Structure 1
Amino acid sequence: MRRLRLVLSRGAAAGLLTALAVSCTGDSADSPNTTGSSPRAADETSVSSELQSDYMRVVRKVLPSVVEITTREGLGSGVVYDAKGNIVTNAHVVGEHRSFTVTLADRQQPLRAEFVGRYPVNDLAVIRLEDPPSGLRPATFADSKTVGVGQIVLAMGNPLGLSSSVTQGIVSAVGRTVTKPAGDGAPSAIMPNMVQTSAAINPGNSGGALVNLSSEVIGINTLAAVDEQLGGAAPGIGFAIPSSTVTRIADQLIEDGKVTDSGRAALDVTVRTVLGDDLSPAGAGIVSVNQGGPADKAGLRPGDVITELDDTRITDVQSLAEALAAHAPGDRVTIGYSRGGRSHTTPVTLGTLGSP
């Protein structure tokens, strides 16, 4: 069975790129010489011309809002969030750095930026230009609820150091739950409600914009899939963080430097994978319980092993995280667990996942 894994689309330090040109011959002597076209062909040409005009209009309007972010270790992309110089990007682009160089799409002179906040749980971060120039072009962010499968989108960023690049595709799926691999000092994370797209997302695109034909940002480009069987990129499978998640997290990072309302469900426990007698994963063992949190109120305590969440079997830490990702704060679920060799169940009202 073919397997895919996800890779961060952050770029490495700029390297040498070689372009190969392929020439095409013109019409051959045997080609028919058409002097007219059918009404259908004319209609198709008109539609194609209109779509091309839409693409160019969107690029002209949104591309100035997409920036290149450079750190000591590499480069990525970002999107101008407001006129104060705040820029939203991926947490894995920012890493542990606190100062950055930012190049705007419509300016050659690099600008300095400083760290504002980082939320690795959703792979989002905000940095701020130290001296925002006049005429800064903040992007417009869409409501994620309006995003639908089949919608035409453009991915904008700086793949492989090629600044201000644009690729085209569609929204392939919405509501995907994916696992972000560990990197840049951050652990792996379960990311729900992701937008899947066929628009090419390559290293350096991380933090860039996924844009609809209304010139609205519908997501922040984050991950690309790799075909483990072929050992290379899986064409047409990329993921973006939905715009509503971006604005929710960015607003809190700008205001407080941390996130208290992620919109994601939590039990407020620290867990580890527990192995059964056959040494296979058998549940998520509770290491600690936050006082006053959902698990504490439900009577769960350290040493308990969570084995079910509603009808979902829990075998390890990741399966618990995936099960929680399918719920929202305030949802009432039933937790199955073992204590002292006996099985129990308890109702739990889920809380909100905050900053780690």
Structure 2
Amino acid sequence: MDVSRARRAHRPPALTALAALAVGGCVVALAGGCSSPGRVAAAPERSTQAAAPLATHELEDEYRTVIRNVLPSVVQIEAGDSLGSGVAFDTRGHVVTNAHVIGQEKTFKVTAATGGQPVTARLVSSYPEQDLAVIRLDSVPQGLKAARFGDSSAVDMGQIVLAMGSPLGLSGSVTQGIVSATGRTVSEGRTDGGTGATIANMVQTSAAINPGNSGGALVNLDSEVIGIPTLAATDPELGGGAAAGIGFAIPASTVRSIAGQIVKDGRVTDSGRAALDITGRTVLDDAYRPEGVAIVEAPSDGAAGRAGLRPGDVITRLGDTEITTITSLAEALAARKPGEVVTVTYVRGTTSHEARVTLGEL
């Protein structure tokens, strides 16, 4: 699946029209989400026509409560000539965001989603392999509060979620949708500032994820951040434009782990990500179709090297998963853990071989 970062948010010339469309879409979403059998059943004396508006107002009240609770934890980040979003990780001024939001910048201007004057911030550390980074505010704006991160294992399809951030530079914007799927493994490109990260266990959502939303908050109705919006699918038939209703967020468990290590140690010390410890490239067959990953480098003390693989070997399977490209290899490894033993099928010369490899750590 093609994906694009939701990072760059240069202010467009028609912000008023875009804002009107966004507000209109939000109203439709609220009205469309009015069905609530439990609440209607609690008031049997009311007609269906009378109960429906009540259910709508109750759901709207829930949305407003979540927004009041979470929006003070969301910030807009100016990184060079682009805008992104971030989430307050603690009360000491640490803010977690996407690595592709900060790019190569080291200093930033940060504005709370609830308003106020921008404050300066500095990079603590970036971890492009998981597309996450932590910055620290030089001073904590009044009213900014640490977000409450939810339990990723409890996230399920059909849950209502809100996405909060700064799409197209519109700070403090909120969109609504559902969890469309969980456990997605998605790879982003390296163009337009992308990190090339392959990220496992992502939350897929129908909530609109637009440029500037990256690094913001995907929130459940318990006011918990369940993910960091990061990618939006692109549709080749639309010339690479965003595919409506298909966005992806890094799960809260990954955010807590990576950001927590950066805050504590200044860097990531335990990625939890499996690796073959090779440098590789995609190879093509005579019909120019990808057919595997050729090993360019395999240090003797790395996972593949210790198992006897060497430069020139072409990896074609990892366990039961067919490997055709470097991306498919990264996605297969994303589903594994360091220390796990897996069978790697490879071609050396014209002969196919198998090796039992104890995976290393990314």
Give the structure-2-normalised TM-score: 0.87
Match of 1:5 in 2: 2
Match of 1:62 among 65, 70, 74: 70
Asked whether 1:252 is paired with 2:249, we answer: no
Asked whether 1:158 is paired with 2:158, we answer: no
Match of 2:235 among 220, 224, 227: 227
* Correspondence list, 1:129-148, <5 A: 129-133=137-141, 135-148=143-156
Match of 2:329 in 1: 320
> What runs of 5+ residues in structure 1 fail to find an aligned partner?
25-36
Match of 1:27 in 2: none
Contact 1:14–1:74, Cα closer than 8 Å, also in 2: no
Match of 1:301 among 295, 310, 326: 310
> What runs of 5+ residues in structure 2 fail to find an aligned partner?
25-44
SS of residue paired to 2:12: coil
**In structure 1, how many angstroms separate the alpha carbons of the residues matched to 2:143 and 2:65?**
19
Match of 2:47 among 18, 35, 39: 39
**In structure 2, how many angstroms separate the alpha carbons of the residues matched to 1:342 and 1:205?**
49
Offset at residue 304 of structure 1 (A): 1.9
Match of 2:134 in 1: 126
**In structure 2, how many angstroms separate the alpha carbons of the residues matched to 1:5 and 1:301?**
31
**In structure 2, how many angstroms separate the alpha carbons of the residues matched to 1:184 and 1:117?**
21
Shift in alpha-carbon separation, 1:173–1:93, aligned structure 2, 3 A: same
Match of 1:271 among 253, 277, 280: 280
Which piece of structure 1 moves more, 101-110 or 61-70?
Answer: 101-110
Which piece of structure 1 moves more, 135-144 or 158-167?
Answer: 135-144
Asked whether 1:240 is paired with 2:243, we answer: no
Contact 2:113–2:165, Cα closer than 8 Å, also in 1: no
Match of 1:173 among 178, 181, 206: 181
Contact 2:108–2:122, Cα closer than 8 Å, also in 1: yes
**In structure 2, how many angstroms separate the alpha carbons of the residues matched to 1:84 and 1:294?**
39
SS of residue paired to 1:149: coil
Contact 1:222–1:240, Cα closer than 8 Å, also in 2: yes
**In structure 2, how many angstroms separate the alpha carbons of the residues matched to 1:45 and 1:15?**
37
| Structure number with higher helix proportion | 2
Shift in alpha-carbon separation, 1:344–1:181, aligned structure 2, 3 A: same
Match of 2:30 in 1: none
Offset at residue 185 of structure 1 (A): 4.8
Highest Rg: 1 or 2? 1
Asked whether 1:194 is paired with 2:202, we answer: yes
Give the structure-1-normalised TM-score: 0.89
Offset at residue 135 of structure 1 (A): 4.4
Shift in alpha-carbon separation, 1:110–1:277, aligned structure 2, 3 A: same
**In structure 2, how many angstroms separate the alpha carbons of the residues matched to 1:138 and 1:216?**
11
1:160-180 CA distance string (max 9 Å, x none) = 111100000000000111121
SS of residue paired to 1:42: helix
Asked whether 1:91 is paired with 2:91, we answer: no
Contact 2:295–2:314, Cα closer than 8 Å, also in 1: yes
Shift in alpha-carbon separation, 1:134–1:159, aligned structure 2, 3 A: closer
Q: CA RMSD in A?
A: 2.1
Offset at residue 340 of structure 1 (A): 3.4
Match of 2:14 in 1: 17
Contact 1:268–1:294, Cα closer than 8 Å, also in 2: yes
1:114 alignment partner AA? R
Match of 2:339 among 330, 333, 344: 330
Shift in alpha-carbon separation, 1:169–1:187, aligned structure 2, 3 A: closer
2:135 alignment partner AA? I
Shift in alpha-carbon separation, 1:75–1:187, aligned structure 2, 3 A: closer
**In structure 2, how many angstroms separate the alpha carbons of the residues matched to 1:152 and 1:106?**
23
Offset at residue 291 of structure 1 (A): 4.2
2:248 alignment partner AA? F
SS of residue paired to 1:7: strand
1:24-71 CA distance string (max 9 Å, x none) = 9xxxxxxxxxxxx95323332332221111100000010010000002
Offset at residue 317 of structure 1 (A): 1.2
Contact 2:9–2:167, Cα closer than 8 Å, also in 1: no
What is the identity percentage for the equivalent residue pairs of Structure 1 and Structure 2?
58
